[in-house]
Structure 1
Amino acid sequence: MAGLGRSFGFLCSSTALSNLADGVLKIGAPLLAVSMTRSPLLVSLVGAATTVPWLLFALHAGAIADRADRRRIMVLAHSARAAILVGVALLAALGMLDLWLLLAAVLLVGVSEVFADLSAQSILPMTVPREHLTRANGRVSTVQLIGNDFLGAPLAGLLVAALPAVVFGAPALLYGVAAILLLGMRGTFALPTTAHPTGNAPAIDARTGGGELRTRRRRTLVADIGEALRYLWSHSVLRSMAIAAGLLNLAGSAYLAVFVLWAVGDESMIGLEPSQYGLMMTAFAAGAVIGSLLSGRAAGIFGEFRTILGGWLIGSLLYLVPVIVPSPWALYPTVVLWGVTGAGANVLVISARQRLIPAQLLGRVNSAYRLVGMGGMPLGAALAGVLAEFVGLAAVLAGATGVCLAAVGLVWRGLWKQISRPLTSEPALSDISRSR
């Protein structure tokens, strides 16, 4: 892509295909589950299965990303997902797929996703110059959203109605091609294994192979993980953002785990068809693309922290709209705004992490951050299913909204103090934050 280099082009193209596959599975799996059962608890387990791997494997995946070639990890992860889904597609074609096999497939694919996603976020600063990170993240976020929601969601709705086996076969093909595209990236994408006593190792230029000698790492994986956890906890900015992300994602996963029952089917409040649910996600993607592309401009006008906090607050308030006004006419513009606020804040948060975290810690601290940020998602999804059985869907949706608003309020004060400071990679900010 113009100005970002050949390797970034291959990385972005691979990301587009893998996220198109993600989009088909993200919508296709819950819709298939709804066709097998109307139990909120069982349907919510599908949502929980997509996020449990983050709780179990995130820290180890991040540590491995700092030890091994990040491109190789991504190739292996995409290939594993392709192989798993080929097997599941055959089971579906033979009429042997049930809810428990569906859950197992989603869980296994989720394990591979942890390794692929953490390596992808850590490889980007090795692929483009640091001053272009926000621009590159905006591009990556855009293709992710187009694949996940704009194309993948409506395609999943059509495939579920037409031929369920293709819900797994098509993503298998896409993951395979995504793995092949990564082979076009030039250079090596493994960090030197020598430790830098300053804690501020220079970023590796993967396009030229790094040019540094490698020595055998003697530290254990547990020690590497511990170092990342200490860094995250002692860095006031990263810690505040991680806490907010954790609470927002816990509540958001609870909301979305049962929202399909609120929105889809004759017995639902909104009454969407499966294909219309896919179009709803397309509307979300359209807003998210806008938010991703305009995030840098918004941060330039309002400041990065104001934009992040504003996006979190507005997005949380918008969760109330489908509960108060359960109508397709209110739903579609609401999900567009969900996309704008959520994606805009997300691009800025990712770029901030990539600038604030030292290069040799990026995989591990990213994994620790995402463990905090995503570790509560399976709990939220499972809890939503249990509560919905007793108190109803409306109470769960409203309660999740309340938790989101409380999360924004909890971290508002801590982040607001940083508003006068730009997010920067200068050592001074990191040193100050670590000393608190």
Structure 2
Amino acid sequence: MAGLVCRLPAGALADHFDRRRVMILADVVRAVALGSIAIAAAFGVLSVWQVVVTALVDKSFGEPFRPASTAALRRVVRPEEMPAAVSRLEARSYAAGAAGPPLGGLLFGLATLAPFAADAVSYVYSLVSTFFVRTSMAVAPSPAPERIVTRLAGGLRWIWSERLIRDILVSAAGINAVFGAPGLAVIVDTRDHGATSTEIGVMLGIAGAAGFVGATLATRLAKSAHPSLVVLGIFWVTAALIPLIAIDANPCILGAATLLAPAANTILISRVIVVTPDSLQGRVDAAGNFMTGALRPLAPLATGLLLTAIGGPGTLIAIAVAMGAIALAVTVSSRMRSIPPVAQSPPPAELRPSPTAPD
């Protein structure tokens, strides 16, 4: 919730200040916050309140980092190379998601302070890497002063004026709201059928590995297949596979449902970055994430209510029906059926700042 509240202001910050400085400041604050946990644990004075406050600080300062880093990506990557760059970020995200929990558990087993210290070190590594990026991340000053509300809403206004971008993000909001639901339903359903915690963990691990494989193949798929085919495919394939999971909770089926998602994300995110004006990059990224993430917290709640009312198989069928309805709505949209390749979407005509040495 803290991230959602901070999201739009974070985008405005990323479009107002030098983006490299925003990223470095965010990393410094988060490194200090996580480092304080490690120090407190080392001296035996760690409290629950310190953990809670640190979590809030970590999440809140992570919000301006993302739009600033997305805007920075636009400065250092050519449009035709954007899908490759985004797919690598997708692969990194899936790899971190798969390796993070077991690695955190291993470090925690070694020492209470170890995972927090490692997290702090990762932020230090990030800020040092950002510091040595030589491309200028300075933001051109606004030609006229804007009221705070106007500036905060700038990304949402631009998204709503661009019909294809609006359709992309609205459909992404729908799939995010539904896509997070099958995991919980699968866990409950497979446990009801006698699966052990280890078997469930292996199954979810296979699904995560499939996402990583999909991310590594995303660039090739984005080049060889029509963007609309990939994007529509993730909706319809997921809608078709979820009922099969209700019949047989096979990890391969769950993995297949996640295989296309990174490619669809690569295509959609790349296009948004390429066509967004530099002066709006931070706010559009933040607004897009606000739109696509606003409904996500409802998925576990709705899934829990459905599991209580109709059980695991019935819940998976209901999720499949919801996904099918979204897939149908997306397919009906002529704009979603004709998404042009990123290479055919030149960025707005803007002067690109010359590379300069770090401050």
**How far does residue 247 in structure 1 lie from its aligned partner after superposition?**
1.3
Match of 1:184 among 132, 140, 160: 132
Report the CA distance shift for 1:302/1:128 in structure 2 as closer, same or farther (over 3 A): closer
Match of 2:168 among 233, 237, 241: 241
Counterpart amino acid of residue 220 in structure 2:
R
Aligned to 1:308: 231
**How far does residue 346 in structure 1 lie from its aligned partner after superposition?**
0.8
Question: Mean Cα displacement is larger for which, 223-232 or 280-289?
Answer: 280-289
**How far does residue 109 in structure 1 lie from its aligned partner after superposition?**
2.6
Query: 1:92 & 1:229 partners in 2: Cα distance?
Result: 42
Match of 1:76 among 2, 10, 25: 25
Match of 1:273 among 198, 201, 205: 198
SS in 2 for 1:273: helix
Aligned to 1:33: none
Counterpart amino acid of residue 357 in structure 1:
T
Q: How does 1:128-277 map to 2 (within 5 A)?
A: 128-149=77-98, 151-159=99-107, 165-195=113-143, 218-256=145-183, 269-273=194-198, 277=201
Aligned to 1:12: none
1:362 equivalent to 2:281? Answer yes
**How far does residue 154 in structure 1 lie from its aligned partner after superposition?**
3.3
1:157-212 C-alpha deviation (Å, 9 max, x unpaired): 545666565443432322222222211111321221144xxxxxxxxxxxxxxxxx
Aligned to 2:353: none
Report the CA distance shift for 1:417/1:398 in structure 2 as closer, same or farther (over 3 A): closer
Query: 2:171 & 2:334 partners in 1: Cα distance?
Result: 10
Check the 8 A contact 2:30/2:123 in 1, yes or no.
yes
**How far does residue 253 in structure 1 lie from its aligned partner after superposition?**
3.0
Counterpart amino acid of residue 244 in structure 1:
S
Check the 8 A contact 1:240/1:415 in 2, yes or no.
no
SS in 2 for 1:188: coil
Check the 8 A contact 1:262/1:269 in 2, yes or no.
no
**How far does residue 145 in structure 1 lie from its aligned partner after superposition?**
2.4
Check the 8 A contact 1:289/1:339 in 2, yes or no.
no
Aligned to 2:222: 299
Q: How does 1:73-112 map to 2 (within 5 A)?
A: 73-89=22-38, 94=44, 105-112=54-61
Check the 8 A contact 1:315/1:341 in 2, yes or no.
no
Query: 1:243 & 1:252 partners in 2: Cα distance?
Result: 14
SS in 1 for 2:260: helix
Report the CA distance shift for 1:127/1:86 in structure 2 as closer, same or farther (over 3 A): same
Query: 1:417 & 1:134 partners in 2: Cα distance?
Result: 18
Query: 1:297 & 1:364 partners in 2: Cα distance?
Result: 29
Query: 2:305 & 2:167 partners in 1: Cα distance?
Result: 30
**How far does residue 258 in structure 1 lie from its aligned partner after superposition?**
6.3
Question: Mean Cα displacement is larger for which, 348-357 or 306-315?
Answer: 306-315
Report the CA distance shift for 1:180/1:417 in structure 2 as closer, same or farther (over 3 A): closer
Task: Note the aligned Cα RMSD (angstroms).
Answer: 3.3
Check the 8 A contact 2:176/2:296 in 1, yes or no.
yes
Check the 8 A contact 2:173/2:291 in 1, yes or no.
yes
**How far does residue 56 in structure 1 lie from its aligned partner after superposition?**
1.2
Report the CA distance shift for 1:341/1:95 in structure 2 as closer, same or farther (over 3 A): farther
Query: 2:194 & 2:53 partners in 1: Cα distance?
Result: 30
Give the paired residue count: 346
1:379 equivalent to 2:327? Answer no
Aligned to 1:21: none
Query: 2:47 & 2:236 partners in 1: Cα distance?
Result: 41
Query: 2:45 & 2:301 partners in 1: Cα distance?
Result: 28
1:24-60 C-alpha deviation (Å, 9 max, x unpaired): xxxxxxxxxxxxxxxxxxxxxxxxxxxx234212211
Query: Which runs of 5 or more structure 2 residues have no equivalent in the other structure?
Result: 349-359
SS in 1 for 2:297: helix
Counterpart amino acid of residue 122 in structure 1:
A
Counterpart amino acid of residue 345 in structure 2:
S
Query: 2:95 & 2:267 partners in 1: Cα distance?
Result: 18
Counterpart amino acid of residue 332 in structure 2:
R
Check the 8 A contact 1:137/1:347 in 2, yes or no.
yes
Report the CA distance shift for 1:381/1:308 in structure 2 as closer, same or farther (over 3 A): same
**How far does residue 92 in structure 1 lie from its aligned partner after superposition?**
6.5
Query: 1:117 & 1:170 partners in 2: Cα distance?
Result: 20
Check the 8 A contact 2:330/2:336 in 1, yes or no.
no
**How far does residue 64 in structure 1 lie from its aligned partner after superposition?**
1.2
Question: Mean Cα displacement is larger for which, 414-423 or 177-186?
Answer: 414-423
Aligned to 2:247: 324
SS in 1 for 2:180: helix
Check the 8 A contact 1:242/1:372 in 2, yes or no.
yes
